[in-house]
């Protein structure tokens, strides 16, 4: 059989093969397809001794389980808060040691960021589930995470609570768009603005749960992944495109189509 040199393979075919590998072998989970009325809430960048307990209280009030993508260096500082998250039945997953943008650092540094957080959260989790800081990831990062045995999970619904959005705006967005199988991204603290109030985010969560907790059951990411067919995408983002998405939505109550 004659094998064509790579340079002779049509570009469209090469793109198809790369796209297929990106979506399957190195695919990122954004949500699941399921006929069950279940949703996963996820909270990034914690723990924080002031705000995280308040999120836990709200979740408890509505019997909602969630997943906390924690930053290892803060787990080290506030281990008692992580214990509280764990004892409340929520899942704890890896969001790196120090929240650096992975496309900007070497593969070895990526490995160290993941492994240092893994070590810190080991007493609280057996799952190898990772969410990239800032949602930024390139091929090199994805290969490294695959080698470390990680499932990468981002989200398909955003409250945009890292932007200066109003409570009602965020709550309306979540209520109007959320569907079964969705993964919602929120923050119990912002990594690079730790003095930024979480009141609007917290109140939006309360309104959303008050409105939706009879319609949906809120489960952890590991439970969600086992309860439906994970949707995998080819996730390559070297800049903060989610910030661009938020800007497209405007700064006040009006919700436009993304």
Positions annotated as catalytic residues are: 44, 187
Would you say 124 or 134 has its CB closer to Zn ion?
134
Min dist. Cβ of residue 155 to Zn ion (A)? 11
Min dist. Cβ of residue 242 to Zn ion (A)? 10
Tell me the window of 2-10, 38-46, 150-158, 218-226 that interacts with Zn ion (CB under 5 A).
Answer: 38-46
Min dist. Cβ of residue 126 to Zn ion (A)? 22
Pairing of strands 91-94, 66-70: parallel
Tell me the window of 12-20, 45-53, 171-179, 202-210 that interacts with Zn ion (CB under 5 A).
Answer: 45-53
Interface with Zn ion (CB under 5 A), residue from 44, 113, 136, 144: 44
Min dist. Cβ of residue 34 to Zn ion (A)? 26
Would you say 72 or 133 has its CB closer to Zn ion?
133
Min dist. Cβ of residue 124 to Zn ion (A)? 18
68 near 246, Cβ under 8 Å?
no
161 binds Zn ion (CB under 5 A): no
Helix, strand, coil content of the chain in percent (nearest 5): 45, 15, 40
Alpha helix locations (H) across the chain? 11-23, 52-61, 72-77, 79-87, 107-121, 139-147, 167-177, 199-212, 221-226, 241-248
CB atoms < 10 A from the CB of 124, how many? 20
Q: CB pairs under 8 A, 24+ apart, for 47-51?
A: 47/74, 47/75, 47/78, 47/81, 47/82, 47/85, 47/188, 47/189, 48/74, 48/78, 48/81, 48/188, 48/189, 48/194, 49/78, 49/81, 51/188, 51/189, 51/198, 51/202
Interface with Zn ion (CB under 5 A), residue from 40, 45, 72, 160: 45
Would you say 44 or 182 has its CB closer to Zn ion?
44
32 near 57, Cβ under 8 Å?
no
71 φ/ψ sector (left φ>0, alpha ψ -120 to 50, else beta): beta
Q: What's the token pair of residue 187?
A: 């923050």
CB atoms < 10 A from the CB of 23, how many? 15
Tell me the window of 37-45, 153-161, 207-215, 245-253 that interacts with Zn ion (CB under 5 A).
Answer: 37-45
Min dist. Cβ of residue 194 to Zn ion (A)? 12
Residues 106-145 close enough to bind Zn ion by CB under 5 A? 133
Tell me the window of 25-33, 43-51, 113-121, 207-215 that interacts with Zn ion (CB under 5 A).
Answer: 43-51
Residues that bind Zn ion (CB under 5 A): 44-45, 133
């Amino acid at each position: 059989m004659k094998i064509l040199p790579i340079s002779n393979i049509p570009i469209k075919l090469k793109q198809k093969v790369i796209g297929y590998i990106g979506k399957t072998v190195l695919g990122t989970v954004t949500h699941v397809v399921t006929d069950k009325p279940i949703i996963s809430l996820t909270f990034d960048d914690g723990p924080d001794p002031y705000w995280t307990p308040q999120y836990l209280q709200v979740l408890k009030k509505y019997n909602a389980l969630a997943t906390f993508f924690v930053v290892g260096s803060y787990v080290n500082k506030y281990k008692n808060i992580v214990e509280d998250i764990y004892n409340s039945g929520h899942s704890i997953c890896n969001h790196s040691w120090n929240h650096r943008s992975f496309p900007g650092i070497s593969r070895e540094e990526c490995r160290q960021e993941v492994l240092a957080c893994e070590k810190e959260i080991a007493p609280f989790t057996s799952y190898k589930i990772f969410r990239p800081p800032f949602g930024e990831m390139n091929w090199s990062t994805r290969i490294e995470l695959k080698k470390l045995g990680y499932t990468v999970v981002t989200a398909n619904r955003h409250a945009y609570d890292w932007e200066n959005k109003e409570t009602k705006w965020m709550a309306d967005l979540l209520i109007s768009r959320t569907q079964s199988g969705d993964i919602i991204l929120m923050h119990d603290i912002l990594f690079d603005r730790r003095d930024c109030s979480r009141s609007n985010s917290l109140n939006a969560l309360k309104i959303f749960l008050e409105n939706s907790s009879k319609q949906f059951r809120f489960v952890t990411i590991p439970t969600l992944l086992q309860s439906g067919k994970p949707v995998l995408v080819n996730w390559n983002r070297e800049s903060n495109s989610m910030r661009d998405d938020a800007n497209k939505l405007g700064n006040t109550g009006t919700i436009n189509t993304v």
